Structure formats: structure tokens, C-alpha cells
Amino acid sequence: MLELKQCPVCRGSGDWYTDRGEYKIFRCAECTLLYTSPVPDAEELAALYRDEWSVPAGQTYRHRNRPTRAWRLSLRAKKLRRLVSGDSLLEIGCGPGDFLRGARLAGFTRIAGVEPGDGEAEYTRNLGFAVHNQMFLEVDFADTRFDVIVSRQVIEHVLDPVAFLGAATALLRPGGCIMLETPCSSHFKARRAGKDWRYLWPPWHLNLFNEKSFAALFYRCGLEPVSFRRHIRKTYITAIARLASA
């Protein structure tokens, strides 16, 4: 287990917020990120997900609304398509491929995914997509670059959000953009729930963002915020940023 002495995004000081068993949750005094300490190291975290969450290869996904989900997600993908001149997209944590299917409906033609879960990766490959069955930071993309990078419900799980987003930013083409989606710590449902908010869930959720903490993360990684959108029904925020102008 690793003790964090400062905010993993802006390196500011944190004030104790609440406890969850052996874990303490702090709120950064500078960027307002909610972060966990201590945290598992990379090996412990990988084992945690492998043992508790991995789906074995051969898993069959059955969801009667999955085509509808792809169509609904295509509306988001179309907004991203209008922000860039190219048609390549990478999703980090693509799961069973719903957003990738939506991206294909939206006109993206060069589409790839990263998914460490064996069953999810196998399923998505069978949909016709190129999928790297690894942890994102372990993938060798060589000279491949993307116009759009999407990561939904992932960044709250990573040990080092700056390293994660910095690696993603390095894969963008000039003029490219990134979309992140995660639970929103300043959502009205989160404020109403307070310290009982269900997304305060270490060691699964290590970092919880809002507009201010996302902006701090984007600027550290050479990105400029484009938009923030809070979802009404779900306690999520969708943040879009593009490469900062030279």
C-alpha cells in the first residue's frame, strides 16, 4: 500500500474528508479532487481487478438494449466527430464495445480499443474491432496516433491520473481531442448524499473529479477544456478537452 502525501493531480495539500475502512479519503484544498490514501500499488491493483472483476474468455454478453445503447452513444460520438478533421478513434476501457459501435455509426472508420478484461476484449474483437487486451500503459502503439480518444468510467480507477492522461495525450494527432466520463463529486446527487455518496468506494474508486479538478488535470497534460456536461439521471460528468495551441 502506498501513502499519498499530496493530491495526485495538482500536488496540492489535502484535507481529511471521510474514512472507508482502512482507507482515508481526502479533498484537495486546491483543485477539490477527492482522492484515496493509502492506495494499492500497481501489482496489487492489477490482482484486485483480475480476481474480482475479470470476465473469462468465452463470456457471452446478452443485453436486449445493446443496439439501442450503441445508437444513443453514437449521438455523443457525432459531437466528437464534429470537433476533429480526421476519423480515427481509440477507446480506453472499451468493455463490450458499445461506444465503439456508436463511433462506427457516427462515421469514424479507424477505430481501436483497449480492454484488459479477457471476455470483454474477445467479445469486442468479434464485433470487428481491433482491441488491445492489456492495461493501457502497457500497450505499444508504435507510431499510431488518433484524432479522438475516449475513456469512460476508467479514470476514477487509475493510480496516477496525470500519467494516464499524459500517455493518452501523447497519442493524439494535432487538433485531436479527449473525452472522459466519470462520477462527478460536485453533482447535486453527490452533494445531497455527502459522505454517504455511493461512489466513495475505495479501493475501486481512487480519484473522483469535478469541473475544477478536471481543468487542473487537463492543463497539467497540455490540454485545453472544451466542455463539461453533468448528467442529470446518472451522477456523472463528461469532460472534453483538446490539445492546447502551440
**Crossing angle of the two packed helices 98-105 and 66-81, in degrees rounded to 10:** 60
Per-residue pLDDT band for 48 (boundaries 50, 70, 90) equals confident
What is the reported pLDDT for 70? Answer: 83
> With 70 as the cut, is the pLDDT of residue 89 above it?
yes
Instruction: Give the H or E element holding residue 89.
Output: strand 88-92
The residue assigned the cell 496516477 is 160
Strand partners, 179: 150, 240
**Residue count (the chain):** 246
Closest to 175 (Cα-Cα) out of 239, 238, 84: 84
- The whole-number average pLDDT for the span 190-215 is 96
> With 70 as the cut, is the pLDDT of residue 77 above it?
yes
Determine whether 144 is exposed, middle or buried from the number of CB atoms within 10 Å of its CB (0-12, 13-18, 19+). Answer: middle
Per-residue pLDDT band for 2 (boundaries 50, 70, 90) equals confident
